[in-house]
Copies of this chain bind each other. A is one copy, B any other.
Amino acid sequence: MYKVKVFVTLRESVLDPQGKAVTNSLHSLNYPEVADVRIGKYMELTIEKSDRDIDEVVNEICSKLLANPVIENYRYEVEEVVAQ
């Protein structure tokens, strides 16, 4: 079994209005030192072992469903979990 952590972020060139709103809120809350916030998604997948290569499966899943490759980048970490 694998635990896969997927991080999806907006590409550098894409505006992030949600992040901008959070930055402004933090300034109102008296945190002027916060210069920028970018919001992304974080997903934890539990994947059973199968015939298919785990990297292949995760890359397919990310590009088909979890991330929009036009405006988003993704990266992931795979951790193998031994059943107890």
Contacts and interface: CB of A to CB of B under 8 A. Distances in A.
A46 B36 contact: yes
| Tally of this chain's copies | 2
Contact of A42 (B7, B31, B49): B7
A41 B25 CA distance: 17
A64 B34 CA distance: 14
A46 B31 CA distance: 12
A17 interface: no
Contacts of A43: 19, 22, 37-40
B66 A22 contact: yes
Contact of A37 (B35, B40, B44): B44
Interface in A14-35: 19, 22, 25-26, 29, 31, 33-35
Contacts of A33: 47-50, 52, 57
